[in-house]
A and B are shown apart, each in its own frame.
Chain A
Amino acid sequence: MTGRVLIADDSVPRLAPHVRLRYDEARSRWAVLAPERMLLPDDIAVEVLQRLDGQRTLAAIIDLLAQEFQAERAEVRGDVIDLLQDLSDKGFVTA
């Protein structure tokens, strides 16, 4: 049995196996598909999830977002960790 994943700066967060982020053309929105569950991420969550490439560390993802959206890094960091920890606890994201 594996324990709870804690999202930290040196984590490499990614979508969990068998979780898919896809654009839903019929409804013009993004959807996260998972075993018998579906999540409709908001615009910010979509931006974060699109940057999970299995290579970047959390710190690198935060840098990228802070730069692209010209936002305060500390604020971005808090929001991204909250989001990814929640998605990890729900089984959508791993690290």
Chain B
Amino acid sequence: MTAHPPPVALLCELTHRCPLRCAYCSNPLALEGASDELSTGEWMNLLDQAADLGVLQVHFSGGEPTVRQDLADLVAHAAGRGLYTNLITSGVLLGAAQIMALAEAGLEHVQLGLPDCEEEGSAFITGFKGGFARKMATAQAVRDAGLALTVNAVITRHNAARLPRMIEMAVELGARRLEVANVQYYGWGLKNRAALMPGPDQLKAMTPIVQEARERLKGVLVIDYVIPDYYAKRPKSCMGGWGQQFVNITPSGKVLPCHAAETIPHLSFDSLRERTLRDIWEHGMAFSAYRGDHWMPSACKACDRKEIDWGGCRCQALALAGDAAAIDPTCVDSPHHAGIRALAEAEAEAGSDAITYRSFTLPRSG
């Protein structure tokens, strides 16, 4: 018997290298350099450990995972161990031959990020010119290779008005699944929140557009809709509960309960270079810290949604309420709830376009 049920999903940040500089990137502000990345052998060893532990799905992400020359080898290794494989990519570096090689290696699914439905908006948000046409070509090559395609349309106040066109584009590209994903404000996204946050009127307009499209495209396109937490009434079930389903590996092999967990300063994170995945999952300090309900404020412990949202997001509690063990401020029962909604509305209203683009050199905060 194991101490805890094993994780279902493993997210491998194969690298933090990426040609794009997206304003909403969820990677940490302190990016890990290429020289620290796990080797091919170390990643393969992790995939073996994950399959043995009971992981079912592996997501290859980054950074931009396709900068790794060994990606197809890692996909083949994962598929050989029965893991369901998913590639999360910007699509700007992939040629048709490489996509075919990934399909032959056993890749099942590609999630393609779509920052906008046109070049101008795409270049503005990603800090990268010419990306839009490359993404379109990648989507076509993914379908030609017979792979399943999800389009991840990332919504900010800059492109919210173009949501209907983005939905039609997902259909035209042959995606069977679309994420209408309002930015989650972590990492670079949190840093750039004031330049990205949609206003309440924009949000109000989105909901009926999604509902209408879901009905019209039933059986053609599945649409998942994520609203910005700041306008929510109840917190999301972040990662399906801390340390319950999901494990995130950084390029250098640090094992995290979520991609933003390193923002919580009192946690310490173990490395695959020193401990096994099973040992870290079951006994690691960072996983134990907020697993289950032992850490919860009494209001959360008594709440009938306790095992639905598991108290929401610890990183957000720290960022917005100053305490990682506080009630997630997106919850109506948090004393900060009204304040963060007002903050979002004020930032949307102010309409700043000042973006700090993602970079390996941490900008001085001013």
Contact call A4/B220, Cβ cutoff below 8 A: yes
Q: In terms of DSSP, what is the predominant structure of the interface of chain A? A: loop
Is A35 within 8 A of B108, CB to CB? yes
Please pick, from B59, B147, B171, the residue contacting A18 in the complex, using a CB distance under 8 A: B147
Residue of A nearest to B111 (CB): A36
Q: A93 to chain B: closest CB distance in Å?
A: 10
- Min CB gap A76→B, angstroms: 23
For chain A residues 67-92, which have a beta carbon within 8 Å of chain B?
A: 88-91
Task: Say whether, besides A4-B220, A91-B177, A36 and B109 are in contact (CB < 8 Å).
Answer: yes
Chain B interface size band reads: 20 to 34
Of B29-37, B50-58, B257-265, B294-302, the one with at least 4 CB within 8 A of chain A: B50-58
The count of residues in chain A whose C-beta lies closer than 8 Å to any C-beta of chain B is 25
The answer to whether B148 and A35 have CB atoms under 8 Å apart is yes
Docked complex: B166-202 residues within 8 A CB-CB of A: 171-172, 174, 176-177
Q: Is the CB of B171 within 8 A of A26?
A: no
Is B95 part of the contact surface with A, judged by Cβ < 8 Å? no
Contact B177 A35 (CB under 8 A): yes
Q: What are the residues of chain A within 8 A of B220 when measuring CB–CB?
A: 1-4
Q: Are A33 and B54 in contact (CB under 8 A)?
A: no
Structural contact, A17 and B84, CB atoms closer than 8 A: no
* Neighbouring B residues of A90 by C-beta, 8 Å: 222
- A34 contacts which chain B residues (CB < 8 A)? 148
Q: Is B218 an interface residue (CB 8 A)?
A: yes
| Cβ contact within 8 Å between B218 and A24 | no
Bound complex: CA A88 to CA B176 (Å): 11
11 sample A-B contacts, Cβ–Cβ < 8 Å, listed by A number: A3-B219, A3-B220, A5-B219, A16-B148, A18-B109, A20-B108, A22-B82, A24-B56, A27-B5, A35-B86, A36-B177
By Cβ-Cβ distance, the 4 closest A-B pairs, closest first, are A26-B54, A4-B219, A35-B109, A18-B148
